[in-house]
C-alpha cells in the first residue's frame, strides 16, 4: 500500500473516530431516548465514545510519525557537521 493511500485511510479513520466521539457525547448529554433506556443507554453512549477513541488516537500518532518521516526524507541534506 502506498503512503498516500495509507494516509488517506488513516485520515478517514480519524474522521470516523471523531464522529463516534461526538455521537457518544450527544447521546450521553442530550438524548432523551438514551435516558429512558437507563443503564443500557449509558453503555451505548460509552461504547460510542470508546470506539471513537480507538479509531482516533492511535491513528493520530501513526499519521504524525508518517508525516515526520516523510518530511525528514524530503529535506535536502545540505547541513554538514563541523
Predicted structure pTM score:
0.70
Q: For residue 72, is pLDDT > 90?
A: no
pLDDT digits (tens, 9 = 90+) for 33-61: 888 999 999 999 999 999 999 988 877 78
d(CA 57, CA 17): 8
CA–CA separation, 3 and 56 (whole Å):
19
Q: Name the one residue in this structure whose C-alpha cell is 557537521.
A: 81
CA-angle at 74, arms to 70 and 75, nearest 5°: 120
- Alpha-carbon gap, residue 39 to 20, rounded angstroms: 19
- 10 pLDDT band, cuts 50/70/90, is confident
Amino acid at each position: 500500500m502506498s503512503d498516500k493511500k495509507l494516509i488517506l485511510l488513516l485520515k478517514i479513520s480519524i474522521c470516523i473516530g471523531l464522529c463516534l466521539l461526538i455521537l457518544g457525547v450527544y447521546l450521553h448529554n442530550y438524548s432523551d431516548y438514551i435516558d429512558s433506556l437507563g443503564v443500557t443507554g449509558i453503555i451505548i453512549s460509552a461504547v460510542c465514545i470508546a470506539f471513537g477513541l480507538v479509531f482516533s488516537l492511535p491513528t493520530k500518532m501513526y499519521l504524525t510519525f508518517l508525516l515526520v518521516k516523510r518530511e525528514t526524507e524530503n529535506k535536502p541534506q545540505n547541513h554538514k557537521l563541523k
